Amino acid sequence: MINRILNSSFFSILTVLIFLTVFWYGASVHLNSDVLIDKYERKKVEWDFSKLVNDSWSMKRPIMPAPHQIFFDMKKSIFDQKITSKRSLVYHSWVTISSTLVGFAMGSFLGILLAVGIVHVPTLNKSVLPWIIASQTIPILALAPMIIVVLGAFGITGLLPKAIISAYLCFFPIAIGMVKGLRSPDLMHLDLMKTYNATKTQIFWKLRRPASVPFLFASFKVSIAISLVGAIVGELPAGARAGLGARLLTGSYYGQTVQIWSALLVASLLAGMLVFLMTFLESSVKKRMGSEI
């Protein structure tokens, strides 16, 4: 019984979380103490260590907020606001998530399309693949503002430019994974299709496509998280008014570190949720395809 608890993933996650929290509280005192001590000395306040600890965990604009400050800020901005309010993190999350999902859909479509082309057309294999790889060497932080500015010049603003940045980031792992997946059937499987005199289309639908599914899901899991990063990055340069990226930006303008951290935490929770959903989808698809697991 005890062994089972010790071996469960819940327990190991909990252990890491406890260590992280303890470390965090310590780091919070350490990083905030300089500012506080400076203040005490200027105002000639009597202080001891316990006062320092207490104060460093309850500063208004700490360098490193304590976990409970972030927690209460998250609670305030998630549960205590109407979700349509601009102060609600649910509202901002939704703005980011919607462009994440649109971008992911666009990127998946593009990635799969490219992969199908690359596998079937030898010229594409030689000409497109190097460009795809080159496209990913440009830092997205440099590219994002330009995409937004150029699209803005055409009157395209709001969700679409952010989705395009997401798509730009996430099509790559999908294209690469899918090329590998579509090429995964071995020679005997292809020979078998040849003995049936199967057409290229039949080989694609009956052999290559199902064979690529595990590869596709591996790529999806990477891509969905990258999509979220893309959407947030897309919110930074244009001074967007809504979205987690905007929250990060306003937080840093006004030195609201607690707000930054809670937006960050929400972003990572969202990423975790998206990956979890994808894993769930993967296992149900694999189950339908007769996988052992």
Partner 1 sequence: MSSNFPVVDAKKVDLVFQTADTPIHALSEIDLEIKKGDFVSLIGPSGCGKTTLMRVIADLEKPTGGEIKVNGMSPEEARLKRAYGYVFQAPVLYPWRTVEGNLKLPLEIMGIGKIEQIKRAKDALAMVDLLGFEKKFPWQLSGGMQQRVSIARALTFNPDLLLMDEPFGALDEIVRDQLNEHFHNLWEQTQKTVVFVTHSIPEAAYLSTKIVVMSPRPGKIIDIISSPLPDKRTLEMRDTQEFLELSQRIRVGLRGGKSYD
Q: List the Cα angle 204/206/211 in 5-degree steps.
A: 80
Residue carrying structure tokens 């208004």: 60
Under the binding rule (CB under 8 A), the answer on residue 189 touching partner 1 is: yes
> Is position 206 an interface residue for partner 1 (rule: CB under 8 A)?
yes
Q: Exposed, middle or buried by CB within 10 Å (0-12, 13-18, 19+), for 76?
A: middle
Distance of CA 252 to the CA centre of its chain: 20
Among 11, 196, 254, 280, binds partner 1 (CB under 8 A): 196
> Rounded to an integer, what distance in angstroms lies between the CA atom of residue 217 and that of residue 39?
54
User: Which of 29/193 has CB closer to partner 1?
Assistant: 193
The window from 77-85, 205-213, 223-231, 264-272 that contacts partner 1 (CB under 8 A) reads: 205-213
Q: Which CB atom, from 207 or from 238, has the smaller least distance to partner 1? A: 207
CB closer to partner 1 out of 196 and 280: 196
Cβ neighbours, 10 Å, residue 248: 21
As measured in angstroms, the least distance from the Cβ of 211 to partner 1 is 8
Stretch that binds partner 1, among 40-48, 184-192, 217-225, 231-239 (CB under 8 A): 184-192
- Position 195 contacts partner 1 (CB under 8 A): yes
- Which of 108, 101, 97 minimizes the C-alpha distance to 270? 97
What's 242's DSSP letter?
Answer: S
Query: Toward partner 1, which CB reaches closer, 5 or 187?
Result: 187
Q: Examine residue 201 and tell whether it contacts partner 1 (CB under 8 A).
A: no
Per DSSP, 206 falls in state I
Q: Name the residue nearer to partner 1 (CB basis): 193 or 238.
A: 193
CA distance 218 to 270: 19
Of 93-101, 110-118, 207-215, 253-261, the segment contacting partner 1 by CB under 8 A is: 207-215
48 binds partner 1 (CB under 8 A): no
Torsion sign, CA atoms 284, 288, 289, 293: positive
Helices (H) and strands (E) in the chain, counts: 13, 0
Binding-site member from 26, 152, 210, 255 for partner 1 (CB under 8 A): 210
Which of 283, 115, 130, 122 shows the shortest CA–CA distance to 204? 115
Least CB distance to partner 1 at residue 203 (A): 9
Residues that bind partner 1 (CB under 8 A): 188-189, 191-198, 202, 206-207, 210, 213, 289-292
